[in-house]
Amino acid sequence: MTYKLEIQIEELRAELRNAVDGAERREIETELEIAQAELAVAAAEMFGFAEAEPPF
């Protein structure tokens, strides 16, 4: 999962570099922030810093 997120982040960064329209830039920036947050959560879960399931 993290590999796919890393690829998505790189693709979004490339799109952001080429974006001309302000609205498009903001949309891509938002998508990029979400993907980076998802990657951080996935990494935390993988290394045991966060639990994937809530405790019972």
**Residue 25 · residue 44 · CB < 8 Å:** no
Q: Would the pTM of this model clear 0.85, i.e. be above it?
A: no
Q: Give the chain's domain count.
A: 1
Q: Pick the closest to residue 3 from 33, 43, 34 (CA basis).
A: 43
Residue numbers of the domain that contains 23? 2-46
Average pLDDT over residues 24-38: 97
Whether residue 29 lies inside any domain: the answer is: yes
Q: Is 25 or 52 the better-scoring residue by pLDDT?
A: 25
Q: Is 19 or 56 the better-scoring residue by pLDDT?
A: 19
Whether residue 55 lies inside any domain: the answer is: no
What pLDDT is attached to residue 11?
A: 98
**Residue 9 · residue 35 · CB < 8 Å:** yes
Whether residue 24 lies inside any domain: the answer is: yes
Phi and psi, residue 10, nearest 5°? -65, -40
What pLDDT is attached to residue 13?
A: 98
What pLDDT is attached to residue 56?
A: 63
Whether residue 54 lies inside any domain: the answer is: no
Whether residue 52 lies inside any domain: the answer is: no
